[in-house]
Amino acid sequence: MKFENPFSAGDFDRAARVTASPEMQADAWFAGVQACIHFVEEFMKPHIRGLIGARSPREEAVLDIYYGIVGFTLSINALRNPWNVQAIATCSRSVFELYNDLLLLHQDTSSLGVERFHAFVDVERLRVARLRVRFFDAHPELPQGQAGMDAQRDFVRDDAARIESDVQRLWSGRWPNHWSGIRGGLERARAVGLDCEALYWQYYAHLSWLTHTASVGTRKVAKESIHMLVANALELVRLTVPRSFGIVARELRFDGVIDELDDKLEFLRQVFFFRLTALKLGQPERFSFVDDVAAGPEPRTT
């Protein structure tokens, strides 16, 4: 990747006097998403592959969250049409939730958080398995409920005691709905700090309107305004994904081998503004984060 700002102060001043079209804004937002994907390919993936020896439970937990963030980022990159706004919002919310999880894990230097993270997988599976078995046992007339239920019953019979013991040991017997033991999304954001709580109120709460049922987020929204809803979702991605990369690099101890890592991550946060400046100046060729020797297609507009 190229980490270069090709613009002078005068360039930024001229661009500031140009009104960006919705198409320009969409192009620039998706350029920022693409830059994060390039960063994964060039810096994150090789260093993760180069980790030597067996991974610790903490490293496995960090990687689980990281791969989730990367997966949603790739999905967002594929959702180019502004009419995908609800799917984009859903992915952006999930990125924020995983970022919040990563902060919770990163700030907990004890082994308890890691143990809870891994144990919660079976805790949640058992909770749902019991509910499914209970429902379909109460409704034997539903044929679809009989397929595969034997495996669910076996899981409840064979693993319930072990999992309940984990709940007693790790959550003091209180059945958790999140691995951290903190119930609500707002409470989890608040637990890691004011900055994360601010992101919750500025972006996440509004994106929930686009994700959940009914039409709270889309009623009376003009077609031309959908781009702005997309922009709101992608701004949350811009603010959280590079930060997540930094946390993962520190947790896996390869932050020291990526030259000027913090500067590179700050560049990722600025790609949107650089791309938008180039488009406003009518000179899109002036900015690219792709190395010339491996230059690919320019980011597409919607």
Nearest to 71 by CA among 51, 49, 97, 103: 97
In angstroms, the CA 56 to CA 127 distance is 27
Return all residues near 121 (Cβ < 8 A) that are at least 6 apart. Answer: none
Count the domains in the chain.
2
Specify if 59 maps to a domain: no
Specify if 73 maps to a domain: no
Return all residues near 262 (Cβ < 8 A) that are at least 6 apart. Answer: 246
Q: What is the pLDDT of residue 223?
A: 62
Q: How confident is residue 37, by pLDDT bands cut at 50, 70 and 90?
A: very high
Specify if 129 maps to a domain: yes
Residue that is written with structure tokens 């919660």 in the block: 120
Together in a domain, 133 and 235: yes
Q: What is the pLDDT of residue 53?
A: 79
Together in a domain, 238 and 285: no
Q: What is the pLDDT of residue 149?
A: 85
Specify if 165 maps to a domain: yes
Answer with the residue of higher pLDDT: 157 or 296: 157
Q: What is the pLDDT of residue 302?
A: 38
The string of pLDDT tens digits covering residues 166-222 is 999 999 999 999 999 999 999 999 999 999 999 999 999 888 888 876 565 565 566
Together in a domain, 101 and 243: yes
Per cent of the chain over pLDDT 90 is 75
Q: What is the pLDDT of residue 245?
A: 98
Residue 301 has pLDDT above 50, yes or no: no
Q: End-to-end distance of the chain based on CA atoms, in angstroms?
A: 24
Nearest to 115 by CA among 69, 188, 61: 61
Task: For residue 284, give its domain range.
Answer: 1-51+261-295
Together in a domain, 109 and 227: yes
Together in a domain, 249 and 137: yes
The string of pLDDT tens digits covering residues 81-111 is 878 888 999 999 999 999 999 999 999 999 9
Q: What is the pLDDT of residue 222?
A: 60
Q: What is the pLDDT of residue 214?
A: 53
Q: How confident is residue 296, by pLDDT bands cut at 50, 70 and 90?
A: very low
Helix, strand, or coil here: 108? coil
Together in a domain, 249 and 266: no
Together in a domain, 157 and 23: no
Together in a domain, 127 and 248: yes
Together in a domain, 288 and 175: no
Specify if 188 maps to a domain: yes
Together in a domain, 246 and 287: no
Residue 300 has pLDDT above 90, yes or no: no
Together in a domain, 31 and 90: no
Together in a domain, 229 and 178: yes
Return all residues near 84 (Cβ < 8 A) that are at least 6 apart. Answer: none
The string of pLDDT tens digits covering residues 247-294 is 999 999 999 999 999 999 999 999 999 999 999 999 999 999 998 644
